[in-house]
Structure 1
């Protein structure tokens, strides 16, 4: 059975703190068994990764800062950048985790998918265009006209994104409204205008005003589900022009613990504070071409104590600012460029002892092993990721379910290779890990098993 979100309490948490859950907690009743649920999750992961790849490598997507890229080029960079014709950007499939929000003066409780790759916040906003809002199954529709403090954004006063006119997703129209049209990779689409309203925190009943997309017209593909009413962008803080929550809260510090995929207890997303000691730290590497993403300085990879040989420079940005590796909570498994993944997979297989590999792997995963008929637990290699240097303070140790998925009676490596120049560190590797994003110090810290 799925959880009924209306029966989930909002604990008495301080301001700038939200409860988060994995989306499958709400959706699992749609599937006949665990394997069907996992298959759907992997399909979402591949769809998101593919749409991210299309956006990044086509150079015309969400988060791209065309102005800064042009300035960087003008200041003597070797970047050779083709002019890309303006068009409505295609946004990527969103979200594996969900946060609880209380919206407007009436504190209408809604659940939004959180997305570390987005600098936008939007939710369904009544009154909708006739028959254009999808049915919200377990939460009331937010209605802007019923909130006493809702305001439309005047694009000449507060609509920096509209006036930048970097793509045709945003538009300033004759009445000074800032309208938008977001098209997702699966064919879903949402249209509306920018407004602002308050969200309220439970413990101190503090209202905080935020700018958001008031979505009046949705075309539903697979992106939109009735369990959620929109998207909360958590892309890294910008000084100007961004609408992500870190930007709007003025928060250089954001911390979260991603609950395990089947945890019904939830966890927390915090701004301005962290409760973890920051045991392991990576450097956040700014990318002016994709300023919303959280790129990190991966240096070396080991399986057990065996290094996966490849030059550390391979993880750096290329001259056109592609490449590198970033953390993405919306992608389930991690993706490596095929050249590296082939070596990684080879070393992993060599390090597995006395467990037979299957000839026909489950689903889209390519390295799978037979489960023990007696039910005995199997020991698989650990994966060590080092950031910047090889030392205990820069090592993220991945073991058990962060390395292996149990799928259709097999144990499968939860990494994949692809024909792309960049890598993604996904949420399967980060479940149960305390993450502290500090954009002032440009660090991302990892604390293993912090959710427990």
Structure 2
């Protein structure tokens, strides 16, 4: 007698075409895309075809351009670009493992990286707060203060508290940045948050508190903040109120952020960080009274293109497909969705549903998507079979990278992900599937282990976070 899993796989194949889709994965040649190998090469010039991209015209909220911090569209391109796929994979794994170490350490669960360190005789002591910043790749330019001063900020859905480096701060206390430091003394709307305020007390309960600074007469007056990241960066200073300009005429009053006077560890070029997580300190939660707690972004297909970050939801969301979204465990910061299936080249992979129970953390600060062992093995096997015409690069660091030397075009299979509710999205080909000629997925851990939806897979999709509605929306071809 055939097993229940076999019947399930047959049903998935037969009825998969009736699922709600953004761009349904079909059969035959339509499930493969012929692409130029030039699409794998980094461009040195900002693309004029994508640099003027704006959100859908029915959006009522505020929107700003979004660019890759290593690309030519960045105001001050970062110089710490991963030198290889192996380095990008390492950064991605460090970030993912750090997030999981925070969540699982209290449950006595050991992460993949910790197990490896134990074998090598190493001891891992993670930082106390927030995520690794090394893997974050996208920046937005906002105006801070009155008059508004441009600030280039890393965009991170895995962080809540936003901050910028503030003057006066010498080279030993702050890392070098190309833009001038934000000087609160030159802003008419700047004000430190009082130490005894409810806003400051909430920092303590959320573990961002650094105590209260002393003013000239010896009384406690200013609210201190402190954030430690998994990558080694530490920032602390004064939690403050300021005007934040999203676009001409669109000003957020009384935006709470960290005015940083002490940094440990190095960053590169960016002036600070913009937190888009789900905790009270984040920009979406702070502006929920105006924009409903919703926000969206679209990551461009290549680093030489431009996408957008927008607050608020479009007035018409009929073009989106939605899947349920919940906080990850007790951490309001992280957004979790449930994957239910994967297809490669139009063929649904036979994967037991129970292995997806851990869900995926939607993390724009993570480069590569992480899947539990069984889904990853199935995806890797099917992708390799579909790409059998091209030579694999032998390596101990990564397992599915191709040598396209001598090929002007290559044929790449479509990869589609299905989420709870039957929502299926086709990833962009090749840039939502391959990174530097390598399959942009890796293993997160055992089956039913939590995975991550990385930023490579989000490319060209408008990702709409409807936090109050508890759902995540996808719309194809948005940038």
Tell me the TM-score normalized by structure 1: 0.78
CA contact (8 A) 1:115 1:235 kept: yes
Q: Which moved more, 1:252-261 or 1:94-103?
A: 252-261
**Count of residue correspondences:** 395
Say which SS state the counterpart of residue 378 (structure 1) adopts: strand
Q: Does the 8 Å CA contact 1:326/1:424 hold for their aligned counterparts?
A: yes
Aligned-pair CA distance for 1:161 = 5.1
SS of residue paired to 1:102: strand
Task: Describe the shift of the 1:329–1:48 C-alpha distance in structure 2 as closer, same or farther (beyond 3 A).
Answer: same
Displacement of 1:364: 3.9
Q: 8 Å contact 2:64–2:247 — kept in the other structure?
A: no
Deviation of 1:36 (Å): 3.0
For structure 2, which runs of at least 5 residues remain unmatched after alignment? 1-43, 108-125, 214-218
Q: Retained in 1: the 8 A contact 2:208–2:227?
A: no
Cα displacement string for residues 81-117 of structure 1 (whole angstroms, at most 9, x for unaligned residues)? xxxxxx9714322221101111111211110001011
TM-score after normalising by structure 2: 0.74
Q: Secondary structure at the match of 1:355?
A: coil
Cross-structure match for 2:404: 371
Q: For residue 392 of structure 2, what is the aligned residue in structure 1? A: 358
Are the equivalent residues in 2 in contact too, given 1:277–1:447 (CA < 8 A)?
no
Corresponding residue of 1:219: 264
Partner of 1:292: helix, strand, or coil?
A: strand
Q: Which residue of 2 aligns with 1:388?
A: 420
Contact 1:24 1:261 in 2 (8 A): no
Distance in 2 between residues matched to 1:233 and 1:47, nearest whole Å: 19
CA separation of 1:336 and 1:288: change in aligned 2, threshold 3 A: closer
Give the aligned partner of residue 194 of structure 2. Answer: 154
Following the alignment from structure 2 to structure 1, what is the Cα–Cα distance between the partners of residues 198 and 339? Answer: 38
In structure 2, the CA distance between the partners of 1:140 and 1:354, relative to structure 1 (3 Å rule), is same
Mapped to 2, the partners of 1:163 and 1:229 lie a distance apart of 22
Q: Distance in 1 between matches of 2:146 and 2:475?
A: 37
Q: Residues 143 and 348 (structure 1 numbering): CA distance in 2 closer, same or farther, change over 3 Å?
A: same
Q: Deviations over 1:118-162 (max 9, x none)?
A: 11111111122673112221x221011221111111242232554
- Structure 1 residues 280, 304: CA separation in 2 closer, same or farther (over 3 Å shift)? farther
Bigger relative CO (Cα 8 Å, ≥ 6 apart): 2
Provide the aligned C-alpha RMSD in A: 3.2
Q: Deviations over 1:158-185 (max 9, x none)?
A: 3255464354754356614321222222
The question of 1:109 aligning with 2:150 is answered yes
* Distance in 1 separating the partners of 2:196 and 2:174: 28
Q: SS of the residue aligned with 1:401? A: coil
Distance 2:376 2:54 in 1: 42
Deviates more, 1:422-431 or 1:273-282: 273-282
Give the corresponding residue for 2:285.
247
1:285/1:297 contact within 8 Å kept: no
How far residue 399 of structure 1 moved from its aligned partner, in angstroms, is: 4.4
